[in-house]
Structure 1
Amino acid sequence: MDHISRPLTKRPRAPLACNACRQTKSKCNGDRPTCERCAKNSTECIYTSSGRDKRMDRQEERKINMALRSRIKDLETRLAAAELEGAARKKAEAEGTTPSEGGWGAAQTQSTPESTADVIATGVFDRTPIRDIGYFGPSSNHAFFWSLSTSIDNVRQRSRDAPPTQPFQPHGTSPQAPAPPTVSIESVLTPSSTPSRATRPTANQHAIARLAAATTEGAREADDAFPPREKARSWTSRFFKTIGTALPYVGEVEVWRNLAQVIDGGLAWSAVDAAAQALMSIVFAQVLHTLDDRSPEPFYRRTLALLDDKTLHVPTVDSLQALLLLASFQQNTQRSMESWAPHYLSVRISYQLGIHAPASYEALCPRDRELRSQLWFAVVNQDRILTAGLARPSLIPEQHVRMELMELMTPSRQGNDDLLKINYFRQAILVHQVLGLTVDYMYSSNINSSSRLNLGQIVSKTVDLTSRLEQWNADVPQPLVVFCTAGAANLDSMPTDSSLWERFSLLLTFFHFRAKMLIHGSLLMRLLERVTASGEEASAGVLQDAGLSLLSNYLAVLRQWLQLINGVLKHRRHFLRCNAVWWTSNYMMVSTCIHSFAFWLLSANLASSMSVLGMHCIDIETLLTYSLDTLRTLGGTSVMSRKAHRCLQVYLQRLKPIIYVGEKQSPSQGSLPPTAPDMEWTTQTPVMGDVMQHEFSTEIIASCIDDMFGSLNPNDFINTGFVGLGLGISDFDASGFI
């Protein structure tokens, strides 16, 4: 045990060896100017301070090599896919057939008679998407599109198995006629709500204007520097006239107080804490989004940087307001998926502040009670919106919401506008409560699929939720009103700076239509799947008759919504941005297109769609086409809106020859209204009944699903207004259409 007790030999270690000792890996004592070894060997002794370990350079080198190998592997995979697709096309051309549009995945599975679900499960999604869009429950447009694709595949299989029939011909036309009579959009919508094609704004018009303004203005001012005092006051004033009015949970007095501290203190941003800075930054970003002035991105990114863990560690009212505005900004700038992150944090801070509990309000002054109750219900409304749209389970259960807290929202100032703003916000809370109940009742809180409900349960719940919504509509206090049509809204004569009650009424109308779509979506898709799977008439059975009666009313609602949104796009396009409802409107338009497509398929299975749904099949097709045109106009630079439009257009072109072959009943020429030359749309009739059966395969449906949900590529960003803005693909959602 002596070796344990013996002291260790101390060997001095030089903090830095000379170059000669390092090269020979010899021991260096570190003496200056000449070490012991160099003095003994009579060699030059030079010390070089590197400041960086070369081993770190080797680690960096290895990381770069791994990234390069991964990139090369990805490129090799794409090259192999391209070669496979090219070989398939050459083979198809040699055989005299048209290659499938399903891409390389379709070429691999072309000869396999599998169902759509099996094809998808065995390789359609092998091509890795650029970004994972995650899980979406049954209340999402994803689920509606998937259900529609299933029904389309059912129709395709039935048409393939059916014997050839004579092509559909309208009454009074000969087999040589090239097409049935043209159907004008006035047969579906009123002329006042029909925008002329010549007056429709292009997709890039607003993006180009904002790009030019951002280039000139950004050259004169720093990106996220605090603006000059007059501009800061002007921006803040505009915020509370636009976004701040539609989102009335931002404390106007508190924001002006923070602004005064920054201006009067002369210390720019550092005059207030990080939470107040984040609130003012996102206020400026929201304002710039409503203007063709300069890009809001610098202030948006500054807000993200300020709302870090250190700032959010201590919950404050300012940080909660900033998070709510941040989520709204992300949703209306094609970052809807990213808005989940600030929403999570806003729910956490709300519970930490205790604004959900009535007992926490007892020691507060009236102003704080008003502001905190507004913030709580703003978080609840946002939770209901994201739960329905992104189809996730709610973060705030219904039993945690105490509706008596609405009584605390008594404005400190008793002006007419303040009372009207509070009444509007209360009605928005109630209609979003119906939205949340719909997700819970009809879509099993986005946990289980709605297919677990039988048709009787779906019809019963649809009636119950519709009656709740109608009761809410009847209780809306004057002067607020829910417009039923664009004519009632009087959009063509309404000035740009319309009165406050007209703005609030239009917003409540949007929320009303949103709830209607969610309530009836499950019933529509269930009936469509049931009819297309069985091949029976959709008007058979008591439950189906009751469901079709409800859907007939819903079809009229879709027509009213199209009238309204086209009136807004034609006469008051800035309304969507200035009131933070672009994302809601765009989401609703995707739902409208999917549901209109479902109605078109459903009407094709009716003995008389006119008597059951109140519209002919060909008129519903016109409604569908007009919905797609509106989606293209409203979506603008939205990549996923373009993808949704493209996929549904492919479905429409492939299905029309199948739907109109052997049609049991067609509208006569006398039943159609006169054609409008500027808005006509002609239905094409094929010469051969089964001409498309070889082309419309399972792989095409699978490729549309793949294109809709995962295959985002740089080509999708061409002509979208992104080029030149300094923003990459990663700055926007791959699933922004939701």
Structure 2
Amino acid sequence: MEHTSRPLTKRPRASLACNACRQTKSKCDGNRPTCERCAKCNAECVYTQSGRDKRMDRQEERKANMALRSRVKELEAQLAAAGLGPQSADAPSSAYSHMQPLDRDKSPGQTSHGGFSDVGSKATAQTPESTADAIATGLFDHPPVVDIGYFGSSSNHAFFWSLSASIENVSHRSTVRYQEPSRQGQATEADEASRAPPLPMMPPSAYRNLQPDDDSFPGRALAVEWTTRFFDTVGAVLPYVSESQVLREIDVIDARDQGWQMSQRSAQALLSIIFAQALQTLDDRSPEPYYRRALGLLDEKTLYIPTVDSLQALLLLASFQQNTQRSMESWVPHYLAVRVAYQLGIHAPASYEYLAVQDKEIRARLWFAVVNQDRIMTAGLARPALIPLQNVRMDLLELLDPARPSRTTDGSCSRESLIYFRHLTALHEILGVTVDSLYSSNISSSHRLALGDLVARTIDLSWKLEQWREGIAPPGIITSNADFSVFSAAAMDQERYTILLSIFHYRAMMLIHGSLLMRVLERITSTGETASSGVLQDAALSLLKNYLWALREWLQLVTSLLQHRRVFLNCNAVWWTCNYMMLSTSIHSFAFWLLAANLRFSIGTIGIATPDAEAMLRTSLDTLRALGGTSIMSRKAHRCLHRYLNFLKNIAFGVDDQIHDPAPTAATVPEGIEWSQPTPGGANGLPQEFRPEVISSCIDEMFGAVGQDDFMGTGFLTMGQHEGISDFDAAGFI
């Protein structure tokens, strides 16, 4: 028997049915004013709903709730990062006062897009660290509460862990038990000193009350003024942007008389970050609106088609983030910069064949700027390099030879700037080789280098660095007796490249010798290995003796800069590098103090006696605190290492280095540094008995035992350009 089946009618959403069909759960075609079923039944057809599916409302409500819960978790992580934890649980209003509803009508400069998060703004956030930066501090709580990610063996994390292990090695030889002073009732003098308000990073700025959200085009006159300021300061040491190109774009925008909305997004982003960089060196208004605008413009829509403008903007954005205490965030623009560079093909010499001479130079500078940034971030943030050594063709560096006959006369890059950039690129090549050779490319291996291999590779890298130093005259390396107090502004500009090359030279010295220093310290303090003299140990100590002298030279240089020309660090985009180096200096100075106390005749072996090593350590800690400003991690590091120092001195039962070493002579201390005197209780040198509880307590104090009362009255929680919890802090030792 054949059936002729009626075709199934498509049932629309129930929310579109009339009341009668909904009540009987019948199919409704949704025709208005009368549906087909009601017409057949001669029934009244009434539609009372709005036509919107309530399930969609519930779905949006769930999304909003999930976003709210995510934000609450972020705030909890930020509170934990600041050490406020349970103490702030009773004050939810203050914690949630920073939450703002999402405004879908905001301009690109007011919201976050792509892979960036709109954090760290001076105008809108009092807890500026991003989620990733806040989570990163979880490692430094006691016990650790979250997974903070990976930091390789070239990081300050690794240096500090190695230092702690060496102290614990010495503690295993302890025969007497000691009681640590309670934190609240018996605070030491060092603890009290570490709680004093630190020096601000910059003088209080007048711009804090001036239109914080104004990111509009400032007008031609002001735009040209800021552009000129940029190329006189940061642009002179980051020479991969053409000043003439930027000024032409400003003229085009001014001629249209419609703001900069009609320009390409990549050009807007480049101008925005240039304005932010320039304002960062000035004191008249906040750079944050233009920084946020650049963040908003550098989204996937802008980067979908790679351009030179977008690559320049990404590089400047990463530099700005690093030097405004957002170093962990700078990974994102760096990743994107590497991607855009590969897409443009600027890494390949073949892509340069049909370009004009000026385009070749700009692209070559851009490529090596990306490589240099990759090397310094790989060494500091201790992740594997994004650009392997074999991908870098150094023959492209010939395009930057100032003596090349076909070189263009680009006014945005002087001959001195180009020479500096070439020397800096060669130095960063050594940094890349060092990370690969000594630190296994920051990929932890199951077997570390044998001491013999480590010594041999350190010698080879030291020779490479020495060859580099001999080849950079002029400008050369600044001498340790330079007195910046007598330098005028013009003299500082004239010596700019010499000072910067000196800073990066000492950065390379720290990276090359840091691993050897920690290995020798571990060997000498360990009970499992003999600490007797041998060929390898003698060679290692000879290398460390030279490194100690370089460390003193660096300490004198940065101390003098902070005292007399602090603005130099900001105007030349090296604050982050110097701040990172100062933490390395403090850890390495502590290691030398331990070495001096555990080596007989240390002044002849490594060139320093225990009292002088202690004075150097105290100077390093004071400089770290002054340079870090209100950084919470600088405070924690300063406090922890001071606690180490005072605990180890107060339980002194070790070798009296002063018995074996002659009094230090003037030649052992560089001129210009007034070493602080050791405390009276430390006349016997470094103690050699410590309890593990003391070490654990110090780590606890450094990585998670900071309460809200510690920062009351210090201005720490106030808003401002260089105040508040920063991404530098949230990243740990970054």
Q: Same fold (TM over 0.5)?
A: yes
The answer (yes or no) to whether the contact 1:616–1:666 under 8 Å persists in 2 is no
The answer to whether 1:637 aligns with 2:656 is no
The answer (yes or no) to whether the contact 2:655–2:684 under 8 Å persists in 1 is no
Distance in 1 between residues matched to 2:687 and 2:499, nearest whole Å: 47
The answer to whether 1:56 aligns with 2:57 is yes
The answer to whether 1:8 aligns with 2:8 is yes
**Residue 385 of structure 1: CA displacement?**
0.4
Deviations 1:494-543 (A, max 9, x none): 11233644100000000110001111101100000111112878561111
The answer (yes or no) to whether the contact 1:639–1:716 under 8 Å persists in 2 is no
Give secondary structure in 2 for the equivalent of 1:8: coil
Deviations 1:548-589 (A, max 9, x none): 111111111111111100111111100000000000000110
TM-score by length of 2: 0.78
Distance in 1 between residues matched to 2:513 and 2:728, nearest whole Å: 30
The answer (yes or no) to whether the contact 1:482–1:508 under 8 Å persists in 2 is yes
Match among 166, 170, 184 for residue 151 of structure 1? 166
What is the identity, as a one-letter code, of the residue corresponding to 2:477?
Answer: V
**Residue 55 of structure 1: CA displacement?**
6.0
Q: How does 1:14-53 map to 2 (within 5 A)?
A: 16=16, 47=48, 49=50, 51=52, 53=54
Distance in 1 between residues matched to 2:631 and 2:492, nearest whole Å: 30
The answer to whether 1:438 aligns with 2:455 is no
The answer (yes or no) to whether the contact 1:207–1:721 under 8 Å persists in 2 is no
**Residue 47 of structure 1: CA displacement?**
3.0
Counterpart in 1 of 2:361?
370
Distance in 1 between residues matched to 2:678 and 2:230, nearest whole Å: 46
What is the identity, as a one-letter code, of the residue corresponding to 2:175?
Answer: D
Match among 146, 149, 154 for residue 139 of structure 1? 154
Distance in 1 between residues matched to 2:387 and 2:476, nearest whole Å: 29
Counterpart in 1 of 2:208?
214
Counterpart in 1 of 2:453?
457
Counterpart in 1 of 2:388?
397
**Residue 54 of structure 1: CA displacement?**
5.7
Q: How many residues align?
A: 649
The answer (yes or no) to whether the contact 1:603–1:609 under 8 Å persists in 2 is yes
**Residue 282 of structure 1: CA displacement?**
0.6
Counterpart in 1 of 2:513?
520
User: Is the deviation greater in 310-319 or in 263-272?
Assistant: 263-272
Give secondary structure in 2 for the equivalent of 1:134: coil
Decide whether aligned partners of structure 1 residues 453 and 323 sit closer, same or farther in structure 2, where only a CA change above 3 A counts: same
The answer (yes or no) to whether the contact 2:314–2:334 under 8 Å persists in 1 is yes
**Residue 666 of structure 1: CA displacement?**
4.0
The answer to whether 1:657 aligns with 2:672 is no
In structure 2, runs of 5+ residues without a counterpart are 88-138, 179-192
Match among 124, 129, 145 for residue 128 of structure 1? 145
Give secondary structure in 1 for the equivalent of 2:489: coil
The answer (yes or no) to whether the contact 1:528–1:598 under 8 Å persists in 2 is yes
RMSD of Structure 2 on Structure 1 (CA): 4.3
The answer (yes or no) to whether the contact 2:610–2:657 under 8 Å persists in 1 is no
User: Is the deviation greater in 13-22 or in 616-625?
Assistant: 13-22
Counterpart in 2 of 1:161?
175
Decide whether aligned partners of structure 1 residues 659 and 387 sit closer, same or farther in structure 2, where only a CA change above 3 A counts: farther
The answer (yes or no) to whether the contact 2:273–2:294 under 8 Å persists in 1 is yes
Distance in 2 between residues matched to 1:22 and 1:714, nearest whole Å: 59
Distance in 1 between residues matched to 2:508 and 2:726, nearest whole Å: 31
The answer to whether 1:483 aligns with 2:484 is no
The answer to whether 1:552 aligns with 2:545 is yes
Match among 278, 286, 311 for residue 269 of structure 2? 278
**Residue 154 of structure 1: CA displacement?**
0.9
**Residue 20 of structure 1: CA displacement?**
9.5
Distance in 1 between residues matched to 2:537 and 2:661, nearest whole Å: 27
The answer (yes or no) to whether the contact 1:639–1:720 under 8 Å persists in 2 is no
Q: Percent identity?
A: 52
The answer (yes or no) to whether the contact 2:349–2:396 under 8 Å persists in 1 is yes
The answer (yes or no) to whether the contact 2:15–2:52 under 8 Å persists in 1 is no
The answer (yes or no) to whether the contact 2:141–2:705 under 8 Å persists in 1 is no
Distance in 2 between residues matched to 1:725 and 1:48, nearest whole Å: 51
The answer (yes or no) to whether the contact 2:152–2:158 under 8 Å persists in 1 is yes
User: Is the deviation greater in 567-576 or in 42-51?
Assistant: 42-51
Decide whether aligned partners of structure 1 residues 668 and 407 sit closer, same or farther in structure 2, where only a CA change above 3 A counts: closer
User: Is the deviation greater in 399-408 or in 555-564?
Assistant: 399-408
What is the identity, as a one-letter code, of the residue corresponding to 1:548?
Answer: L
Distance in 2 between residues matched to 1:66 and 1:355, nearest whole Å: 40
Distance in 2 between residues matched to 1:697 and 1:137, nearest whole Å: 28
**Residue 23 of structure 1: CA displacement?**
8.7
Decide whether aligned partners of structure 1 residues 207 and 51 sit closer, same or farther in structure 2, where only a CA change above 3 A counts: farther
The answer to whether 1:231 aligns with 2:248 is no
The answer (yes or no) to whether the contact 2:243–2:411 under 8 Å persists in 1 is no
Match among 719, 728, 732 for residue 724 of structure 1? 719
Match among 442, 447, 460 for residue 443 of structure 2? 447
**Residue 737 of structure 1: CA displacement?**
3.5
Q: How does 1:100-115 map to 2 (within 5 A)?
A: none
Give secondary structure in 2 for the equivalent of 1:497: helix
User: Is the deviation greater in 537-546 or in 368-377?
Assistant: 537-546
Match among 237, 247, 252 for residue 243 of structure 2? 252
The answer (yes or no) to whether the contact 2:461–2:512 under 8 Å persists in 1 is yes
Counterpart in 2 of 1:425?
421
Counterpart in 1 of 2:257?
266
Counterpart in 1 of 2:136?
none
Decide whether aligned partners of structure 1 residues 623 and 51 sit closer, same or farther in structure 2, where only a CA change above 3 A counts: same
Decide whether aligned partners of structure 1 residues 402 and 65 sit closer, same or farther in structure 2, where only a CA change above 3 A counts: closer
**Residue 646 of structure 1: CA displacement?**
2.0
What is the identity, as a one-letter code, of the residue corresponding to 2:8?
Answer: L
Distance in 2 between residues matched to 1:415 and 1:260, nearest whole Å: 18
Give secondary structure in 2 for the equivalent of 1:268: coil
What is the identity, as a one-letter code, of the residue corresponding to 2:618?
Answer: T
Give secondary structure in 1 for the equivalent of 2:731: coil
**Residue 636 of structure 1: CA displacement?**
1.0
Q: How does 1:700-711 map to 2 (within 5 A)?
A: 700-702=694-696, 704-705=698-699
Counterpart in 2 of 1:176?
none
What is the identity, as a one-letter code, of the residue corresponding to 2:718?
Answer: V
Give secondary structure in 2 for the equivalent of 1:452: coil
Deviations 1:629-679 (A, max 9, x none): 0000001132222222122122212222345545254489975889x9997
Deviations 1:14-56 (A, max 9, x none): 865678987998998786599999xx99999783537562663
Give secondary structure in 2 for the equivalent of 1:481: coil
Distance in 2 between residues matched to 1:66 and 1:377, nearest whole Å: 41
Counterpart in 2 of 1:287?
278
**Residue 448 of structure 1: CA displacement?**
3.2
Decide whether aligned partners of structure 1 residues 2 and 64 sit closer, same or farther in structure 2, where only a CA change above 3 A counts: farther
TM-score by length of 1: 0.78
Decide whether aligned partners of structure 1 residues 43 and 128 sit closer, same or farther in structure 2, where only a CA change above 3 A counts: farther
Distance in 1 between residues matched to 2:298 and 2:330, nearest whole Å: 14
The answer to whether 1:332 aligns with 2:332 is no
**Residue 482 of structure 1: CA displacement?**
0.6
**Residue 230 of structure 1: CA displacement?**
1.6
**Residue 259 of structure 1: CA displacement?**
1.4
Match among 234, 240, 244 for residue 243 of structure 1? 234
Distance in 2 between residues matched to 1:690 and 1:670, nearest whole Å: 17
Counterpart in 1 of 2:568?
575
Which has the higher relative contact order, 1 or 2, with Cα contacts under 8 A spaced 6 or more apart?
A: 1
**Residue 484 of structure 1: CA displacement?**
3.3
Decide whether aligned partners of structure 1 residues 520 and 127 sit closer, same or farther in structure 2, where only a CA change above 3 A counts: closer
Q: How does 1:318-329 map to 2 (within 5 A)?
A: 318-329=309-320
In structure 1, runs of 5+ residues without a counterpart are 84-121, 165-196
What is the identity, as a one-letter code, of the residue corresponding to 1:616?
Answer: A
Counterpart in 1 of 2:338?
347
Decide whether aligned partners of structure 1 residues 383 and 162 sit closer, same or farther in structure 2, where only a CA change above 3 A counts: same
